[in-house]
Amino acid sequence: MPAFAKSDIGQVRKNNEDSYACIYPRLYIVADGMGGHVAGEIASSLATKTVSEYVQRHDDDSPEVILDQAVNEANRIIYQMAQSNPEYAGMGTTIVVAFVDGEKVYWAYVGDSRIYLISEDGMRLLTEDHSVVWELVKSGTITLEEAKNHPHRNILTRALGTSESVRVDLGKTDWRVGDFLLLCTDGLTNMVSEQDIFQTIQRYKADGEKALDELVGRANAAGGLDNITAILVQREK
């Protein structure tokens, strides 16, 4: 089950506030931080560190319970740091976590970073963005096409570390030999269409590192308006 990860600052931002953990073969995490100065970097790195350490310490429990507790623990730590240090006030982060257990994939998330399941048949989004625009799409107020350029597309309805408690969304699915998992920040999905992402991964499915290089290059060529981070995992026999 090869896994590849890549993070890029993009063309506009001065700092890379994304963070990731790629703990082969079971645990994968992507986080997209927000906040002034270096607060976003701190929030995202705290999230990935806390969740990865928690899951590895408690991997004898059910995956859903572990992931929920791990993300809540990260929320508590980030929130407390933000409350105790004025320099970090208001900092937060998105997070997506995938835990692989044989034929099953379990996931947890808060915010608008995403997880996709990709097979030869197509590409399925496993998460729903916790954002104002996603709520408008779900209610039928705007279309997915309109959402791409909506002025409020970056406003989150839920993030990690911005409040004392957080509701973590969880899920699980089967995956087959040859399928891919893609975890990524919106620095990729806002710049590259899902169709282009799918076609790129299919084109380079024998070389995950090349696929990520191509995707990051496409995001930068389209403007690179945000940091770009992605993890690509393939299930092998």
In tens, the pLDDT along 116-171 reads: 999 999 999 999 999 988 888 788 888 777 777 777 777 899 999 999 999 999 99
Confidence of residue 20 (pLDDT cuts 50, 70, 90): very high
Q: How far from each other are the two terminal CA atoms of the chain, in whole angstroms? A: 8
Q: Taking 70 as the threshold, does the pLDDT of residue 1 lie above it? A: no
Dihedral sign of CA atoms 188, 191, 193, 197 in order: negative
* Distances in whole angstroms, Cα of residue 200 to Cα of each of 180, 193, 218: 12, 11, 10
Predicted TM-score (pTM) of this structure: 0.95
Q: Note the pLDDT tens digit of each residue in 186-219.
A: 999 999 999 999 999 999 989 999 999 999 999 9
Mean pLDDT of all residues belonging to the chain: 94
Kind and range of the H or E element at 50?
helix 39-57
Whether the Cβ atoms of residue 24 and residue 39 lie closer than 8 Å to each other: no
pLDDT at 139: 84
Sign of CA dihedral 14, 91, 6, 215: negative
> In the chain, what are the domains?
3-234 (3.60.40.10)
Task: Please tell me the distance from the alpha carbon of residue 120 to that of residue 55, in angstroms, as a whole number.
Answer: 31
Predicted local confidence at residue 198, as pLDDT: 98
Model pLDDT, residue 140: 84
Integer-rounded Cα radius of gyration of the chain: 17
Q: What is the pLDDT of residues 52-91, one digit of tens each?
A: 999 999 978 899 999 999 999 999 999 999 999 999 999 9
Q: What is the mean pLDDT of residues 104-109?
A: 98
Q: How much is the pLDDT for 75?
A: 98
The first and second tokens of residue 29, run together, are 């995490």
Rounded average pLDDT over 5-17: 97
Q: What is the pLDDT of residue 160?
A: 97
